[in-house]
């Protein structure tokens, strides 16, 4: 198993070395340096705990993509996840919110971290609306599926599967939730929340539509005898999903530090380990081996999406968010192991279910 994490471990050592150098340059003391190093470690652990369900969902999508696009996601996608979302994204928020240029935003983050934190935090309502809505749609679309025949929490999932016959039922439910939460906010924040939440839903639909169009194109070419396999739709979907997951981590990181360099180092380490988990889950076929693990991950995504939406009004500690996800995934894993022991042979299980 260690071979899957060699790159992440090397990347972690490099980041920790940079943290030590940066800490010494900033503080000039061993205690100050160790303090900053500890924050980097905590941030990386926080990111992993918040994103394990992301790795499971990534693996479920990657498993259906061809090897070329798998490699592109694990290389190009890594650059987008680490450089784009952990560094460029917070700077872009500050630049847009404060009307600054890119270099001015960088200068503000390095020389006035308190003001930088205030500007990023001021954009939380919009981020919570967009990210929460997108993640909620990802989770709901998994359960609102009439063709889904494997259920973990059967008394809920079976009903949701039946309701999938009502077109756009999950969208209607989510819009009602967004509207109810917006009623708790000040008028200006309510409008921002409604617009960003709607854009989150529209983005999900747009990515799904693109994936469907590309799939239809491939089927048409295949019917003509051409061998074409593309993962562009899945690639875009996974990167937007990664971005939605990182919103919570980036905003939550300011609870520990307002230093952009420290936040970027800690969250990047976590992002690398999530990628390693994704590779391991795909290559070891873990999702096929543990039948309810994917269900637990999607329930965790719905929980995270709901928490992000609610966080527009109420502050919820990141430890609570991570704990909820870990409990749901842990329970689904335990349930999967129990099921595997009870039905060690898939053919026996099929016969029993048919009876």
- The Cα–Cα gap between 77 and 111 comes to 30
Least confident stretch, 105-109, 217-221, 334-338? 217-221
Q: Which of 73, 68, 64, 56 is closest to 281 using CA atoms?
A: 56
| 133: CB partners within 8 A, 6+ apart | 174, 178, 196, 197, 198, 199, 200, 201, 204, 305, 309
Ramachandran class of 317: left when φ > 0, alpha when ψ lies in -120 to 50, beta otherwise: beta
Is the per-residue pLDDT at 319 higher than 60? yes
Strands (E), 44-194: none
CA angle, residues 54, 173, 187, in degrees to nearest 5: 95
Q: Indicate the SS3 state at residue 148.
A: coil
Q: To 5 degrees, how large is the angle CA 118–CA 320–CA 298?
A: 105
Burial 91-103 (b: 16+ CB within 10 A, else e): bebbbeeeebeee
Enter the pTM of the model.
0.75
* Interatomic CA distance for residues 69 and 229, integer angstroms: 9
Task: Decide if 44 contacts 269 (C-beta within 8 A).
Answer: yes
Q: What is the mean pLDDT of the chain?
A: 79
- When pLDDT is cut at 50, 70 and 90, the band that residue 353 belongs to is very low
Task: Report the share of the chain in percent with pLDDT over 90.
Answer: 11
Residues 9-25: tens digit of each pLDDT: 898 999 999 999 988 98
Which residue has 């340096």 as its token pair?
33
Dump the DSSP string for 3-48. Answer: GGGHHHHHHHHHHHHHHHHHHHHHH-SHHHHHHHHHHHHHHHHHHH
Q: Two tokens at 269?
A: 């380490």
Across the range 60-83, mean pLDDT stands at: 75
CA angle 72, 76, 79 (to 5 degrees): 155
For 116-158, write each residue's pLDDT tens digit: 778 777 778 888 898 889 888 888 888 887 777 788 888 888 8
Q: Which of 325, 316, 201 is nearest to 274 (CA)?
A: 325
- Distance (Å, whole) CA 175 – CA 163: 16
Alpha-carbon span 85 to 285, nearest angstrom: 28
């Amino acid at each position: 198993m260690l071979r899957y994490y060699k790159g992440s471990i090397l990347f972690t050592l490099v980041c920790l070395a940079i943290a030590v150098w940066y800490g010494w340059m900033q503080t000039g003391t061993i205690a100050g340096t160790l303090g900053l190093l500890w924050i980097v470690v905590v941030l990386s652990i926080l990111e992993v705990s918040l994103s394990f369900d992301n790795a499971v969902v990534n693996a479920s999508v990657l498993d259906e993509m061809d090897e070329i696009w798998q490699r592109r996601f694990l290389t190009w996608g890594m650059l987008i996840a680490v450089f784009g979302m952990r560094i460029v994204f917070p700077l872009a928020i500050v630049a847009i919110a404060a009307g600054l240029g890119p270099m001015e935003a960088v200068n503000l983050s390095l020389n006035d971290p308190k003001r930088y934190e205030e500007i990023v935090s001021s954009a939380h309502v919009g981020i919570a609306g967009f990210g929460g809505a997108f993640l909620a749609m990802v989770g709901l679309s998994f359960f609102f599926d009439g063709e889904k025949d494997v259920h973990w929490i059967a008394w809920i999932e079976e009903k949701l599967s039946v309701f999938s016959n009502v077109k756009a039922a999950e969208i209607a439910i989510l819009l009602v939730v967004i509207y109810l939460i917006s009623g708790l906010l000040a008028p200006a924040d309510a409008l921002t929340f409604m617009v960003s939440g709607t854009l989150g839903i529209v983005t999900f639909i747009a990515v799904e539509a693109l994936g469907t169009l590309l799939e239809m194109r491939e089927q048409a070419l295949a019917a003509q005898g051409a061998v074409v396999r593309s993962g562009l739709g899945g690639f875009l979907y996974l990167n937007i999903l990664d971005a939605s997951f990182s919103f919570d981590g980036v905003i939550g990181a300011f609870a520990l530090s307002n230093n952009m360099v420290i936040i970027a180092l800690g969250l990047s380490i976590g992002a690398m380990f999530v990628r390693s988990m994704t590779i391991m889950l795909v290559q070891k076929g873990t999702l096929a081996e543990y039948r309810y693990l994917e269900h637990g991950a999607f329930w965790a995504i719905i929980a995270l999406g709901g928490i992000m939406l609610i966080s527009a009004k109420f502050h919820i500690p990141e430890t609570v968010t991570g704990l909820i996800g870990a409990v749901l995934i842990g329970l689904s894993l335990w349930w999967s192991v129990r099921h595997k022991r009870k039905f060690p042979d898939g053919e026996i299980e099929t016969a029993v279910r048919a009876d």
